[in-house]
Structure 1
């Protein structure tokens, strides 16, 4: 029976240096055969660009194509398989889409993301959509409204190994800031500094680092939510904190807050409780210059218990967050930043909570509070401008 091939998923924005890294890996293969699946149509010189023979490369645009390619590489005696998706693909989507793709002949082994050290700040604080970025590379303009920073964050936060490439183009301080940011955004990933894609193959091939649960929970914001501290870089003021409260936001004051500048906040995410939408969980997400709020469904206290999860672990989690009066309703937000004024941020959020007098109005009255926020079914993107994490834009247009 053919061996099950370990798969390395190689992600990174266009220009990060994935092709150079591939060429380096093939040059140090020491006789091992490395198959390559490319998940987009590429120029005819891809074989030459990656140093691969024609029989070592397959272009696969669907899960069924991938399954057939993986079967071929396995039966042909290859030792490892690399999947290189489009530079604007998100690894979470790739793993989900192609979960059945490699099939019985291959398994995900390592998720690798290549970061362009020179352009990281530009990409992180950009408000470009994927369609705009694709158009900038001369490709036909599509209607992909995803933000480039969303793709970048998915690639960083859902990775087992992060290769910080082009380190020769930044100085020591810039490199230190980048490494501190990446460690805070994904504490679990192995961080590798590289120039011209020079990475040891053992660091990215057949590492066994991929774990469906651990990789999915690697993001720094998720670690904070689960009560695990994330690495901080005191030399550059990179740190994090979590803010919680047991009373709802006033919609007018909260709407004003999200249009203010949150100096130094690089990443914020979590759940919030809005008085005017008392039964619904609010989801908040911000990365770089892009922020969103949307509905996360209903709080468990507004859901019949027979519809609650049945497994003991999930039920224990709900109970651990339960309040006799308010159920699971709460504010639960995490912040990762550089040079943040934590005391000022906490104070501004606390000012948005209902006062004692407003709380006394009662839940029926809260529904009549003036609420300028967009309807829950609409994604709400607001953005600012900035190009350095020391003056990072916060959520909102300012």
Structure 2
């Protein structure tokens, strides 16, 4: 069982409590974090666990939770992951998701350290959790708590939500007893369920909205950059907390890009080239296919603004030769062959 979360003191405290109350061995974040590869370190330690109940592993904040899931699901891992418990500081959730700094991942000798946006790691912990445990929720008003619960449930609709009450929590052993093996094919993220038209959160709040945005036309990169920098980031349409999915830039129209946004961080990165799609295979997307989750969203205005960033009829008719001359302020992408190498 993995314990993850952005706030180290609360995460460590909850991991100790979980291990003690479920009779499991505790592997602390301090222990695995001493290695430049915390996930690999945990996988090497766990086969030595002598407790029949298993172990609780607390992972440091630099950990990508998808690496934990992938490593445990590997055929030769010898480790069974039965739960990901994400500890969320309820009073600081929005601040955590709007952080602009990066986590520096430990590096092996003679290699460069990797940098990952702290907000992205935080939101992924929520999205891939089997249970989200809210701590420090008591100072929130009832409306504030309702909004936080609904937002968490929209981000991770497959996760169970629990308010932490310390020693009075009867659900901790229940979660441990009812745990099932994690599978890499499980689709837990709210944005993925939006794209699959399976998004059905059980917690709602008037302030929290989720929408599925589609548009087959490529995006004009200059207009998109201005929309992101001047209008979405300023909160003109409300607070877009999370958006993710697929898109195409007109200047790079042969490539499907991954759209990955949380808070004030956005990254567009190449996923697949149309030239490499085998006969009979489906494209990931024709144009934009985005799941968007936010607070106080003006959905019609946001949809219209995204539509305006796509090519007009005249631009579309001009063809890729004309598109190549469009303003494109986004960073140059490595070629897909470079990435695979």
TM-score (norm 2): 0.82
Structure 1 residues 253 and 232, CA, compared in 2 at 3 Å: closer, same or farther? farther
- The unaligned stretches of length 5 or more in structure 2 are 107-111, 233-237, 336-341
Structure 1 residues 62 and 21, CA, compared in 2 at 3 Å: closer, same or farther? closer
Of 370, 373, 391, which residue of structure 1 is paired with 2:327? 370
How many residues align? The count is: 324
Q: Within 2, Cα distance between the matches of 1:127 and 1:197?
A: 35
Q: Within 1, Cα distance between the matches of 2:254 and 2:17?
A: 54
Residue 182 of structure 2: aligned partner: 211
RMSD: 3.3
Q: Is contact 2:7-2:89 (8 Å) kept?
A: no
Residue 46 of structure 1: aligned partner: none
Q: Deviations over 1:146-203 (max 9, x none)?
A: 2211110111111111111122232222211110110000000011111347543324
Residue 175 of structure 1: aligned partner: 145
Q: Is contact 2:32-2:41 (8 Å) kept?
A: no
Within 5 A, what are the aligned runs for 1:138-177? 145-177=115-147
1:283 aligns with 2:258: yes
Q: Within 2, Cα distance between the matches of 1:239 and 1:65?
A: 39
Q: Is contact 2:70-2:184 (8 Å) kept?
A: no
Q: Within 1, Cα distance between the matches of 2:286 and 2:131?
A: 36
Higher mean C-alpha displacement, 91-100 vs 249-258: 91-100
TM-score (norm 1): 0.72
Of 205, 230, 237, which residue of structure 2 is paired with 1:260? 230
SS class of match (2:178): coil
Q: Within 2, Cα distance between the matches of 1:352 and 1:71?
A: 52
Q: Within 1, Cα distance between the matches of 2:40 and 2:183?
A: 22
Deviation at 1:68, TM superposition (A): 5.8
Q: Within 2, Cα distance between the matches of 1:109 and 1:122?
A: 30
1:80 aligns with 2:44: no
SS class of match (1:333): strand
SS class of match (1:371): coil
Structure 1 residues 205 and 304, CA, compared in 2 at 3 Å: closer, same or farther? closer
Structure 1 residues 334 and 99, CA, compared in 2 at 3 Å: closer, same or farther? closer
1:329 aligns with 2:305: no
Q: Deviations over 1:235-259 (max 9, x none)?
A: 4321111121222222322222121
Residue 356 of structure 1: aligned partner: 313
Q: Within 1, Cα distance between the matches of 2:56 and 2:260?
A: 32
1:116 aligns with 2:116: no
Structure 1 residues 67 and 226, CA, compared in 2 at 3 Å: closer, same or farther? closer
Residue 28 of structure 2: aligned partner: 38
Residue 70 of structure 1: aligned partner: 46
